[in-house]
Chain A
């Protein structure tokens, strides 16, 4: 993995852009199906993150850490029950999505926030042609005549490069090309490869020009070449439109090459929040360090790979934060009781602490940290220029 070492602090200059999407203290829990009387399963326990226009916010973490639940909550796609929003809010340009009535939510879904999913093979309805499915999205959100809608659908597929092969074939025959483009609309998903289907999904998601794109592991099921193509495509569309992308993934390579800001999650909480280069150069939370350490290198000749546990079981790892001597200790749910800082009350022992100007780390809540009152994580930072 190559982390581009150009930490461009210049682009971190304060901008006046208002955040697109603000997740504030979001907590989501689910009924415990196997133990109905027991405690609820806390999928997300107080998550904060902020997405700015033209920014890619990568949400990283292992399976079950609450990445997808956060994104699904923004769409109100969490089935309730068994799900429940315990507290917090998700603001889209200031409007709270969690309390939004369904009628308004229908306009937001697909119209202002679009989502693409991990499984391109099954995310398209097998019994409708791709044209029908894209048109459905377009006609739901835009007042267009059927002809205009078809034009828009063709335009959307054009943008995601579905027609590249066709264009090559009908280089000299504009009429045949136009017909071919239209014919492709009546093809069914099963005739497409995984990469092509994901492109169709993206075309469908972007056909209505959403402000925010929630990409839930969009490339996990694809091979590396297609993965790179899809991510390039997303970045290019993002630049053209100024859209904010929340990129949910557990592929750190994808993060390194695409993200502007990274939010590392564990057990329903944010453990680290930082611009991508700073995070990769200097991971501060032991879990983040564990994640990076567990990536095998090609030239490593080890009989056993380093695991996250190898790092998090090392007490010294938790003493590296600035202010460690004053009790600033990274939050870690598996830490033995005796090593945790003592807590007077029974409240949530976790808080997100601003360590540096661009860095938030999840820490054990101590009276001292509480008095400092870190602002919510918000980094209006973009890589490159």
Chain B
């Protein structure tokens, strides 16, 4: 059994790689590609170079302008527990402090003279000398400050590259080099690499000025980054993880990354959305199981009775109602103040809920309290989650029971004098567990994934809402993190199912 589990766990690695690659490709192939949400908001104001530079910065920050396969590789390195490079450090705020990333080279170096002051002397700007003016700060503050400066300089530099490219496009048009522009009329400096420029005219002057600005910005960015790197190397915060090879290879926890549509760590978003979804499902699933399974058992033992037909008909009827319709009808009739107005329309809490006690109070007039308020709010979403679930489970249970009710060993048990209830529970139900186990483990991924439709209708800020928003904005990190989590849980649940099979049925063995 141990080797079997180990083998299954190892097999999960390629499976997960395949799943994430597939999802990554899907996101990349979607219209607009990764980060389409950002480009839409940028496109509306494309004239202002400030917005353009901001967009360039965001693309640089989240690596959106790299080829998809590079992005995927970077994401894998991020999620992998085995990490390359220096160990991260953990700030007291819980933020992971990472070393500064490498800066891109300025484009079309060969077209311009080296900036005044000759080559950058990195050695001169690195080291302790940079800290001179900051002696009074503590290490944390100093690092934060250096990080901020470095980030600002990087933003300016990346923005200046984008500006340079705009000017380069104008220059190309002025010099009759339109062929080198892409379909959208934008210039990719790499395509100008082999061209000898005509160094005259206003267009050239503008380009030279842009290059000048770019080179200045680069120098500043390199200097600041070197300072940040030096500060990082001095390790102002405790290092994270377990070193394997110093400064090269270490073990850390997977990093789900930062959601670029919200500028917050994905793990934080999930941490706030998951409990909501779990709450809904932890109420819904027990209700489904506690009603559907006994109903299925009873329907099977009384096959053909009115109970069998009635339960089947009612459950199938419920199952046939689309959740969307049921949700809207519930809101329209049960929640709407103009009709019954029994339940709140959306959300999880009353606006005043935070000021209430946990349990209801009856002292000076009834106040429902936090818990009751919560249950009152989730009543309709839970109803929507539950009502359609009875049919499949109870029918499966009934079918499995019927398979076994007529089995020979059941006759044997009856011939032994086992009372009828024991025959049904001990012998028939026990043998009907396998299909139920298969269905049971399906709960786990569903719990994480949340119900997109129900959460959307009732404006519940759960996982379903989170992933839907992420898909709208093509937020790579959230989509991938979600998929990755659900895939992991799914694979683990399947393994759990296989283990449970062996527990439930002695004929199943993995030795």
Indicate if A107 sits at the interface (CB-CB under 8 A).
yes
Specify the chain A residue showing the minimal Cβ separation from B414.
A77
> Number of B residues whose C-beta is below 8 Å from A?
20
Interface residues in A69-87 by Cβ distance below 8 A to B read: 75, 77
Indicate if A268 sits at the interface (CB-CB under 8 A).
no
Query: What is the bound-complex CA distance between A190 and B505, given in angstroms?
Result: 11
- Chain A nearest CB from B418 CB (Å) reads 7
Specify the chain B residue showing the minimal Cβ separation from A132.
B426
Interface residues in A86-122 by Cβ distance below 8 A to B read: 102, 105-111, 114-115, 117, 119, 122
Cβ contact within 8 Å between A126 and B409: yes
Indicate if A124 sits at the interface (CB-CB under 8 A).
yes
Indicate if A176 sits at the interface (CB-CB under 8 A).
no
- Chain B nearest CB from A218 CB (Å) reads 13
Fill in one digit per residue for A111-149: 1 if any B CB lies within 8 Å of its CB, else 0: 100110101001111111100000011001100000000
Cβ contact within 8 Å between A140 and B416: yes
Indicate if B419 sits at the interface (CB-CB under 8 A).
yes
- Chain A nearest CB from B427 CB (Å) reads 6
Known: A109-B416, A136-B418. A127 touches B411 (CB 8 A): no
Cβ 8 A contact of B431, one of A75, A123, A127, A140: A127
- Chain A nearest CB from B510 CB (Å) reads 15
Cβ contact within 8 Å between B415 and A75: yes
Known: A106-B419, A109-B417, A126-B507. A77 touches B409 (CB 8 A): no
Query: What is the bound-complex CA distance between A190 and B508, given in angstroms?
Result: 10
Fill in one digit per residue for A185-202: 1 if any B CB lies within 8 Å of its CB, else 0: 000101000000000010
Query: What is the bound-complex CA distance between A129 and B430, given in angstroms?
Result: 13
Cβ contact within 8 Å between A119 and B408: yes
Fill in one digit per residue for B474-511: 1 if any A CB lies within 8 Å of its CB, else 0: 00000000000000000000000000000011110000
Q: How large is the interface on A (under 10, 10 to 19, 20 to 34, 35 or more residues)?
A: 20 to 34
Query: What is the bound-complex CA distance between A52 and B431, given in angstroms?
Result: 39
Indicate if A270 sits at the interface (CB-CB under 8 A).
no
- Chain B nearest CB from A194 CB (Å) reads 13
Indicate if B412 sits at the interface (CB-CB under 8 A).
yes
- Chain B nearest CB from A375 CB (Å) reads 31
Interface residues in B387-412 by Cβ distance below 8 A to A read: 407-409, 411-412
Cβ 8 A contact of A141, one of B408, B417, B506: B417
Contacts of A106 in B (CB 8 A): 417-419
Cβ contact within 8 Å between B413 and A125: yes
Interface residues in A176-215 by Cβ distance below 8 A to B read: 188, 190, 201, 204-205
Contacts of B409 in A (CB 8 A): 122-126
- Chain B nearest CB from A259 CB (Å) reads 22
- Chain B nearest CB from A132 CB (Å) reads 10
Query: What is the bound-complex CA distance between A219 and B81, given in angstroms?
Result: 62
Interface residues in A316-358 by Cβ distance below 8 A to B read: none
Cβ contact within 8 Å between A137 and B416: yes
Query: What is the bound-complex CA distance between A109 and B504, given in angstroms?
Result: 28
Contacts of A140 in B (CB 8 A): 416-418
- Chain B nearest CB from A346 CB (Å) reads 34
Cβ 8 A contact of A110, one of B416, B505, B506, B507: B416
User: Which of A111, A128, A204: most chain B CB closer than 10 A?
Assistant: A128
Cβ 8 A contact of B415, one of A102, A114, A125, A127: A114
- Chain A nearest CB from B48 CB (Å) reads 72
Specify the chain B residue showing the minimal Cβ separation from A106.
B417
Query: What is the bound-complex CA distance between A128 and B431, given in angstroms?
Result: 10
Query: What is the bound-complex CA distance between A124 and B415, given in angstroms?
Result: 12
Fill in one digit per residue for B420-445: 1 if any A CB lies within 8 Å of its CB, else 0: 10000001001100000000000000
Contacts of B407 in A (CB 8 A): 122
Cβ contact within 8 Å between A190 and B416: no
Known: A188-B506, A188-B507. A125 touches B417 (CB 8 A): no
Cβ 8 A contact of B417, one of A107, A129, A190: A107
Query: What is the bound-complex CA distance between A110 and B419, given in angstroms?
Result: 11
Known: A106-B417, A110-B417, A111-B417. A127 touches B504 (CB 8 A): yes
- Chain A nearest CB from B502 CB (Å) reads 11
Cβ 8 A contact of A109, one of B415, B427, B430, B505: B415
Contacts of A136 in B (CB 8 A): 413, 416, 418
Known: A109-B416, A137-B416, A140-B417. A190 touches B506 (CB 8 A): yes
Residues of B whose CB lies within 8 Å of any CB of A are: 407-409, 411-420, 427, 430-431, 504-507
Instruction: Pick 7 A–B contacts, CB within 8 A, sort by A.
Output: A110-B415, A122-B408, A122-B409, A123-B411, A136-B416, A190-B507, A201-B412
Residues of A whose CB lies within 8 Å of any CB of B are: 75, 77, 102, 105-111, 114-115, 117, 119, 122-129, 136-137, 140-141, 188, 190, 201, 204-205
Closest A-B pairs by Cβ, 10 of them:
A110-B417, A109-B417, A110-B416, A122-B408, A125-B409, A188-B506, A115-B415, A137-B416, A123-B408, A190-B507
With A102-B420, A107-B417, A126-B507 given, name 5 new contacts (CB 8 A). A114-B416, A115-B415, A126-B409, A127-B505, A136-B413
